[in-house]
Amino acid sequence: MKLWINNNNKEQSVEAANKLRSKLLDAGLILDRRNPQLVISVGGDGTLLSTFHAYAAHLDRVKFLALHTGHLGFYSDWTDTEIDELAKRIIECQDNIPSTSYPVLDVVVENKEGSLFHGIAINETVVRRLSSLTMKARVDLDKEFFESFRGDGLCFSTPTGSTAYSKSVGGALIHPKISVFQMIEIASINNRVYRTISSPIIIPHNQQVDLYPQTADDYVISCDGITTKLKNVKKITIKLNYQRAQFAQYRHRHFWTRVETAFLAQNEKK
């Protein structure tokens, strides 16, 4: 089996990656950066996100695996104290990698000249004005007018990304087995003149959100923290990508256990 290991530069991650790499090479597995079947991220969720985007053009043939050495590991089933067991599972299952899949956001931006920007995100996409001024945009849901938004911006989150930035701006936690995404308003303006829904909206896999800028057309699009500045924006479309991110699953870790560990671990069980 061909694989690649990507790690951050922290000493703990480098040591873990070297140890895992050595065990897999000794077993006859092949390192192939360009055409891997399995890509292993060693570090935290930030390392996983950068690894995902490095191989985002190959979602049809690449499976991801996260080895956790950071502070949070929502995509990680393994820690650096379990390298021996992980290596054993990878070697045993190299002919048939067990996997699960997660929804991925698809973002298309059309400018007034007709050219397009295309991005994807496994966590979230955030849309804001290029400056720090108020964002004003028409919001269509499923190709029908929904609201005129005024505020700091809009966040669109996948289920796996619902525990990240979207949670901090009031989004719902969504189980990754549900093929949906959500739209969360960021500091929306609500008064007797302007009204928005002011609540997270859960959108099914076969529907999309279209944003049409009003009064200004300079925007910042952030996909998993990767920021792109765009001008002359005519339309922004957000929906679920037809492809999903495949993650190797050599063992199952309950999603709600991940949530409890990250946010509630200090609470006493009663």
Catalytic residue numbers read 45
User: CA-CA distance, 248 to 48, in Å (whole number)?
Assistant: 13
Q: How far apart are CA 226 and CA 28, in angstroms?
A: 36
Tokens of residue 222, six digits = 């952030």
Which of 82, 57, 259 has its CA nearest to residue 159? 259
Least Cα distance to 175 among 68, 241, 125, 103 occurs for: 103
Q: What is the DSSP string of 133-179?
A: SPEEEEEEETTEEEEEEEEEEEEEE-TGGGGTHHHHTTPPP--TTS-
246 in Cβ contact with 59 (< 8 Å): yes
User: Binding site for NAD(+): residue ranges?
Assistant: 45-46, 123-124, 150, 152, 163-168, 187
Distance separating alpha carbons of residues 97 and 122, to the nearest angstrom: 21
**259 token code pair:** 């949530």
